[in-house]
Structure 1
Amino acid sequence: MFAILGDIEFTVAGGISGMERRGTADWAEHARIQGKPLLEWIGEGLDVCNLTIELHPILGDPEERLRALRRAKAKHEPLAFVMGSGDYLGAYVITEIDSTTRRATSVGQTTSGIVQLSLKEYTGKFTRKIGGAGLLSPALTGASGAVMGSPGMVSKLSPIASATQMAISHAKTAGNVLRAGKNLYDSVKGGNASMILGQVPQLLGVTGRAIEPLQGLKEVAALLDDGSDLARLSDDVLGSIMGSRSSLDPVDLSNIVDRFSASKDSLGLAFDKMNSAGSRLAGLAAQVVTRRA
């Protein structure tokens, strides 16, 4: 399997022929009297993925595959996007479906064509629904598309998210916040005391956003049979985050440079601790994608 989006599987044998990922960062441009404008990092942009899917009868019913993708788009719901390697990319929404017909029947049914599927990262509240003991609905078993593993075979099961999936979601959110915080600290570190002092509210804001997902990770880890290491990870990272925040409260012009340096070091430690759990989290994602959790 190449990837899975919600309950829709994509395979090379089922027609996937390409994938493009794009990430952006938002920068504000401030005009200055004499000299070039000054850029200020605002935040990370939403990731975008574009999938290229070939349509052909030997890969599954082209019309049914298109209908399945259009149904998913029409629901206007975020969907979990997981690579076949187990790498959980996060929640995405379908923003665009472009289909090109190369050959068709006399009544206009597509027999050969190509689909460009555009996905955009979703950062709102999200709880992933995963299938149970299999992806395919029994009613679809035996269909040519099911045999080939093409997109379009959607399970009728909609159970609540597993503890494993919730742990991955909390960890990913915390990791993204810490990465954004690290980038912000790096952009501020070269400024003078007055400029750094003016950025303190924003620094406290970005570190504060990591608290809730870390607490959520600890709570969900208690539900896992082997989650004690994730609970410790949450405590360790949260401890570094709180240390980073306490270094900036209170501050003034006389101590901001030293306090900022201490805060930056603590945040860097939190980021490194979270980053060190990458293999562990990838293992959890692999359990989800193989229906073992």
Structure 2
Amino acid sequence: MFAVLGNIEFELITYWDGFEATFGVDYAEHARIEGKPGLQFVGEKLDEIQISLAFHQHYCVPDVELARLRTAMKAHQALALVFGNGDYRGWFVITDVTAVSQQTDTTGNVWALTATVSLREYIGDPKNPLKPPAVKTALPGTGTVTGAVPAPSGVALYVREGVNYAKQAQSALQGAMSAVRIAQKMKDNPTVALTRVPGLLSQLNTVAVPLGKSSSAFSAIGEALPGAITLSRATGQAATTIQQAQGALASVDSNNIAAALGTVSGQLNAASTTLTQVSPTLSEMAAKITVRSL
């Protein structure tokens, strides 16, 4: 994960498209008789950040992701901006969200869009400043150290495992879908298309295995974390669909290779849709790990 804003997670490859930050200071201007005015330093300006994002149906539901940003903006709440390496940038409010649809289908469903999110630093009460989200409790007898970062809990370890395996599977799934499309272009030459089958089966295995592990990890914490149940079912369902695709390819020959590839393509699309539908929940889980709220 590249960064998280509140509970909204951003991936470098799939979401993040640009980052622009503005810093400044304020000066008061004092007029002078028969002379140029003088300047007096007043203080720092609030930091402002613009984040450029790209959403595409291949890895998310663009309308859903845009709605999450609008909901966060309308909540009028300060959100912590933390990068994946632990770099804490501070608390910010969302002041503007600008979206441009890049691609739609014939009925108006958005397939791809770009968005720009404008953030403005939020200071709050200077006498009681907001703490970084990872800071939980004060340590007695310390001056510069104001809080302790706890070790990941058992639940957090399962969440991290489930999220990592799910993302690994999503990445492998995109590769498998691309490989199937290439094989389908060879349907007029069944002999050549058949040579692709062993590689396709191997790729499908790299999708099915992590999906199974992700489902097991989320299932283990279903009682402690309700959202994990949804993710366990989704990854389990996607794993079953991939296994069905493996079965469809296991006994193909030159007479049915074209039909089998068509079936597999549909099954991979179904698995991708299943994972895309739970992408917001998956991102929320990953965000909780980053800010150590578990």
Which TM-score applies when normalising by structure 2?
0.49
Which TM-score applies when normalising by structure 1?
0.49
Q: Which of 1 and 2 has greater Rg? A: 2
